[in-house]
Amino acid sequence: MRYPWWQHRLYKAGYRLTNPRQVVINILKNTDKHLSAEDIYVDSLKINSSIGLTTVYRTLDLFQQIGIVQKFDFGEGKARYELIKNPIKKEHHHHIICVKCKEIVDYTDFLNEELELINKTEKALSEKYQFKILHHTVHFYGMCSKCQAT
């Protein structure tokens, strides 16, 4: 394969490889945080000061559509974005969110057991409600140790 998988996806979907797109994906690759569009925009300015916030939004939207990026809503009034590490393996994780400081922790513990049940549920719900289930989110909301202390 000539290109990294994500570039390949772009080409296959008929989109161009442009600098802002490379910048955005590199930022997402090099973080384990859950960045907002603004976060990504600020980071991108350090690399290329002429990138616009609009382009960041459009790029994230595009990446989501071609299955490179997942958009999350943790109820903060703004979205957060995560790179899908391996789109083929469908690896994923669930989230714990601190309601006070908004810290977000990924967890993969017990995920096998969880996923087993979720797949089972998904199948049963599909049948009962005639839904074709595409994805799911599991969010635990609580207080992190720091915020409990204060």
Partner DNA sequence: TTAATTGCAAACGGTTTGCATGGGC
Partner DNA sequence: GCCCATGCAAACCGTTTGCAATTAA
Q: How far is the CB of 51 from DNA (least distance, A)?
A: 4
Q: Is 96 in the site for a second copy (CB under 8 A)?
A: yes
Radius of gyration from C-alpha coordinates of the chain: 18
Binding at 33: pick from DNA, a second copy, none (beta carbon under 5-8 Å per type): none
Q: Is 78 in the site for DNA (CB under 7 A)?
A: yes
Q: Is 112 in the site for a second copy (CB under 8 A)?
A: no
CA distance 65 to 148: 39
Q: Is 50 in the site for DNA (CB under 7 A)?
A: yes
Output the six-digit token pair for 32. Answer: 């384990």
CA-CA-CA-CA torsion sign (138, 140, 146, 150):
positive
CA distance 140 to 96: 5
x/- track of binding to DNA for residues 125-144 (CB under 7 A)? --------------------
CA-CA-CA-CA torsion sign (114, 120, 123, 129):
negative
Q: How far is the CB of 97 from a second copy (least distance, A)?
A: 9
Q: How far is the CB of 55 from DNA (least distance, A)?
A: 3
